[in-house]
Amino acid sequence: MIVLVVAHHAAMPYHLILPPFEPSSLSAYVASIQIVSPVNDETRSGLLTLFTSINDAFFMALLFFLSGLFVWRSLERKGSARYLRDRLLRLGVPLLLMIALRPLTYYPTYLQNGGTGGFAAFLQEWSTIGWRGGPIWFLEVLLAFDLVLVGLAATGARTIFARGIPDAADRPVAFYGRLLVASAIAYVPVSAAFTSFFWLQLGPAQVQVNRVLFYGAYFLAGVLLGVQGASHTFLTRDSTLARRWLRWSAAALASLALSIGAALGGAGELVAGVLYVLAAATTSFAFLALFLRFVHRRRPVWDSLFESSYGIYVFHYGVAAWLSWALLDVALPAVAKFAIVFLACLATCWATTALLRKIPGVARVL
C-alpha cells in the first residue's frame, strides 16, 4: 500500500486534471487546483490519470482499515495511558519531522513559479500563505481517530468494542455489506455538500472534509474486525475471501469502471458518491483477497520494505517533488518520467529509512 502511495504522488505531476501551467506566484499556485501536486509538468498522460483515479478510489480507505486492524488488542494489552504515549511517539514525532521538512518539499514549487531571491525569499513568502501539507494529513487524522477511540474506550462503549464482530470468522460478504452501508452513510451526504477539493485548514493540520467520516468508517471497521485477532477472521490464507480472489477481482474491475465512468460522464453527486463507495469497498476486498491468496513466503527484501515502509511514507513526498522538478525540461514521455521519479524516489526513501533505522531509538519511530 505504501508503494502505491509513492507511485500515486510520482504520477500526479502528469495528471490530466491539472490545468495548463502558467508561472505566476506561489500564493496563486496554492489557491488553484494545481495544489494537488507540488510540481506541474506540461507533459501529461491519460494512462497515469487512470492509474491515479483507480488509486484514489480505494487506497487511503484501505490504509485506514489496516491501521485500525490491530488497534484494539494493542489498547487492551497496553492500557490507555501507555497506548496514547506510544501513539504520540509513533505518529507525533514523524508529524513534526514532516512539518519541518515541508518548506524543502515546496521549494521546487516556488522555483517553477518564477521565484527568485533564493531560499530566504521563498521562506518569507511561505510564511504569508496557508499551505496544505501533502500526505501529512494521514498521520494527523489517524492520530485524531486514535484519540477518539481511547476516549470511547473509557466510557460504556468499551463493552461494544470488546465484543467486536463475532460472526466475522469467515463471512467476508456479510462484513463487506456492513462496511458498504456504513461508509455510504458517512460519505454520500457529506460529499453532496463539499467537493473533494475542499480542505479544512487549522494551522499545520488539514483534512479533506468530504472524506473524513468515510475514512473513520474504515478505521472503525478495522478496529472491530481486529478485536478477536486477525487470525480469527476471514483475513487468513485459507479463508473464503482468499479462495474467491478471482470473483472479488472481477467485481473490483466492474465497480471501478462504473465509478470512473460516472465521474467522467458528469453524473450527479448522489450517483457518483454511491458508486465511489462501492468501488472503494470492493477494490479494498479484492486487494486483501489477492495478497492473502498469493503472498505467503517471507523474503529478506520484502521484510526490509515492510520495516522501512513508514519511513518511506514520511520522506517520499519531498523526494518525488524534487525529482519531478528536475525532469521538467527533459524531453521524455510522461510515463517515462513517472517511472524515473517513482523508482528513484522509492529507492532513495527506502535506503534512507533503512540506514536511519540502524541508529539506536530511531526504529521505534520510523
Quick check: is 60 in a domain? yes
The pLDDT value given to residue 356: 96
**Tell me, what's the pLDDT at 145?**
94
The partner residues of 208 in beta bridges, in order of sequence, read: 199
In the structure, what pLDDT confidence band is assigned to residue 155 with cuts at 50, 70 and 90? confident
Query: Mean pLDDT, to the nearest integer, of 140-152?
Result: 91
Helix axes 136-153, 212-225, angle to 10 degrees: 50
The model's pLDDT over 171-211, given as tens digits with 9 standing for 90+, comes to: 899 999 999 999 999 999 998 887 776 777 776 677 788 89
Distance (Å, whole) CA 103 – CA 136: 13
Residue 334 has pLDDT above 80, yes or no: yes
292 within some domain: no
**Residue 212 domain-assigned (yes or no):** yes
DSSP for residue 88: I
Domain span at residue 353 reads: 2-240+297-364
pLDDT digits (tens, 9 = 90+) for 15-55: 988 777 776 778 777 777 667 888 999 999 999 999 999 99
Query: Crossing angle for the helix pair 136-153 and 93-112, nearest 10 degrees?
Result: 150
pLDDT in tens, 84-112: 999 999 999 999 999 888 889 999 989 98
Top pLDDT among 206 and 214 is at 214
Looking at residue 354, its amino acid is: A
CA dist 76 and 83 (Å) reads 9
For the stretch 350-363, pLDDT in tens is: 999 999 999 998 99
Structurally, the chain folds into a number of domains equal to 1
Which of the pair, 207 or 214, is modelled with greater confidence? Answer: 214
Pairwise CA distance, residues 165 & 265, whole Å: 39
Question: CA-to-CA distance for 221 and 284, rounded, in angstroms?
Answer: 12
In a domain, 276, yes or no: no
The per-residue pLDDT for 344 is 98
| Separation of alpha carbons 129 and 119, rounded Å | 16
Question: Is residue 39 exposed (0-12), middle (13-18) or buried (19+ Cβ within 10 Å)?
Answer: buried
Radius of gyration of the chain from its Cα atoms, rounded to whole angstroms: 21
pLDDT score for 184:
96
Residue 264 domain flag = no
Report the pLDDT value the prediction gives residue 210, as an integer from 0 to 100.
87
Evaluate whether residue 352 is within a structural domain: yes
When mean pLDDT is compared across 3-17, 133-147, 212-226, 262-276, the lowest value belongs to 262-276
pLDDT at 162: 66
pLDDT band for position 133 (cuts 50, 70, 90)? low
In a domain, 80, yes or no: yes
245 lies in a domain? no
Q: Does residue 39 contact residue 97 with C-beta atoms inside 8 Å?
A: no
